[in-house]
Amino acid sequence: MFFEENYKTICIIGYFFAALGAIVTAALEFGWIQTKPPKALYYAYFIGGLITMKCAYGWLTNSEKK
């Protein structure tokens, strides 16, 4: 399957988007940026978070098999 073949690359992209989402959310909360980011960016953060959870779950289950 596509996900298993490109596992590390997809995880790194997912971590990047999740981290970006956390940084932008913190910046909005503390008022460092005044303009609201576009809605598409929020979807990218959400998908990045889902990928991050999938990767973490995959590593937890794979570590038991080794």
**How many independent structural domains does the chain possess?**
1
Tell me, yes or no, whether 46 lies in a domain: yes
The answer to whether the beta carbons of residues 13 and 51 sit under 8 Å apart is yes
pLDDT tens string for the chain (66 positions)? 565 667 777 778 778 888 888 888 888 777 777 777 777 777 777 887 887 887 777 766 665 444
Task: Confirm whether 19 is domain-assigned.
Answer: yes
Q: Please name the residue that has the structure tokens 């596992």.
A: 7
- Which residue segment(s) compose the domain that 20 sits in? 6-60
Inside any domain, residue 65: no
> Is 1 domain-assigned?
no
The H or E element spanning position 62 is helix 39-65
Please check whether residue 66 lies inside any domain of the structure: no
Query: 13 in helix, strand or coil?
Result: helix
Let me know if residue 27 belongs to a domain.
Answer: yes
